[in-house]
Amino acid sequence: MSEGSRATSLAFGQVVIGPPGSGKSTYCHAMKEFLGRVGRRVALVNLDPANETLPSPCALDIAQLVTLPDVMDSLRLGPNGGLLYCMEYLEANVDWLQEQLEGLRGHYVLFDCPGQVELYTHHNSLKNVFAHLAKWNFRLAAVHLVDSHYCTDPGKFISVLCTSLSTMLHVELPHVNILSKMDLIEQYGKLAFNLDYYTEVLDLSYLVDHLASDPFFRNYRRLNEKLVEVIEDYSLVSFIPLNVQDKESMRQVMQAVDKANGYSFGDQEHRSLEALMSAAVGADFHFSSTLAVQEKYVQSQDKAVEEEVMDL
């Protein structure tokens, strides 16, 4: 059976990426539970061959194809090299992945991905797998999780911004950046600026000035200025704060991802034109009300013209 005939129906989902320890598996578990409560059929797919302690059952696990310990033992590779090999092996066996995913049609799919940063900044295997998913009519958004504790260290936050930007450019998917573990941010230390400064990535020159107060970073001020210029020139990076234990926080993330992957505009939501425009412009757009106002305005204009004619 050809690719086109096997992938006729659209499927929506998220590829959940981010550094180790950023909370990807916890997010997948929490989002699966949240989406299930709002009525969606959700399937979790584990694409991390090093993840052996999943918080919830998976509909599909890459361990059925390859595992990191087996690769390390058989090829005498370290954890990083072994993980790269696993992703290359997955790319070489995408037919297996396609066959397994056919049973998940009609589900909203969460892909729990590995945490190795270079997989999303310059290595191509996982990027190519995502491209295959797109050919199979999966409409995906990349959900990039970053631990919120990086906000407490200006130097680390600039590094996170650079990594996020590089990931967005390399992965080539609609992208939603998330500051995870917001419920723990107070334990990490006091923020130099308000939270919206970090989520909206406002004027980063203040961050460079703050770094200059450190004798070590003072010597690298010009480098930091150039890095900040690159981030601001692209103007792509912003973050949504997330606390997986807070329903409103989860709802905001869900809405952002739904707009990114197009789920908001699909038949699954049974959207009216009014709701469609609300999602598009970020405010309530009452189409019928607008028509009524327009009709009333036209009628008043016509009446005014008639009165002028009568006066003549």
Tell me the mean pLDDT in the region 192-205.
Answer: 86
| Other CB atoms within 10 A of residue 236 CB | 15
CA angle 78, 121, 176 (to 5 degrees): 120
Residue 270: what pLDDT? 45
Are 75 and 82 in contact by the 8 Å Cβ rule? The answer is: yes
CA distance 46 to 113: 7
Biggest alpha carbon distance in the chain?
98
Are 59 and 44 in contact by the 8 Å Cβ rule? The answer is: yes
Residue 300: what pLDDT? 54
Identify the three-state secondary structure at position 62: helix
- Buried-exposed string 98-107: b where 16+ CB fall within 10 A, e elsewhere: bebbeebbeb
First-residue to last-residue Cα distance in the chain? 77
Q: Per-residue DSSP letters for 128-179? A: HHHHHHHHTTEEEEEEEEEEGGGGG-HHHHHHHHHHHHHHHHHH-S-EEEEE
What percentage of residues in the chain have a pLDDT greater than 90? 60
CA distance 254 to 63: 28
Q: Strand pairing partners for 12?
A: 139
Has residue 279 got a pLDDT over 60?
Answer: no
Residue 201: what pLDDT? 86
> Predicted confidence band at 8 (pLDDT cuts at 50, 70, 90)?
low
Residue 218: what pLDDT? 82
Has residue 209 got a pLDDT over 70?
Answer: yes
| Phi-psi category of residue 251: left, alpha or beta, with phi > 0 → left and psi -120 to 50 → alpha | alpha
Q: What is the pTM of this model?
A: 0.81
> Predicted confidence band at 217 (pLDDT cuts at 50, 70, 90)?
confident
Residue 6: what pLDDT? 43
Domains of the chain: 11-201+237-311 (3.40.50.300)
Tell me the mean pLDDT in the region 63-91.
Answer: 95
Has residue 17 got a pLDDT over 90?
Answer: yes
Tell me the mean pLDDT in the region 100-114.
Answer: 94
Residue 142: what pLDDT? 97
Tell me the mean pLDDT in the region 222-227.
Answer: 90
Has residue 3 got a pLDDT over 50?
Answer: no
Interval 26-64: pLDDT, tens: 999 999 999 999 999 999 999 999 887 777 789 999 999
Residue 117: what pLDDT? 92
Has residue 211 got a pLDDT over 70?
Answer: yes
CA distance 270 to 2: 30
CA distance 10 to 136: 8
Closest to 31 in 3D by CA, of 268, 185, 257, 200? 257
Residue 272: what pLDDT? 42
Tell me the mean pLDDT in the region 85-109.
Answer: 95
> Predicted confidence band at 69 (pLDDT cuts at 50, 70, 90)?
very high
> Predicted confidence band at 257 (pLDDT cuts at 50, 70, 90)?
very high
CA distance 180 to 288: 40
| Helix ranges (DSSP H) in the chain | 3-6, 24-37, 68-75, 79-92, 94-101, 118-121, 125-135, 154-171, 185-188, 195-199, 205-211, 215-218, 221-234, 247-261, 273-281, 287-311
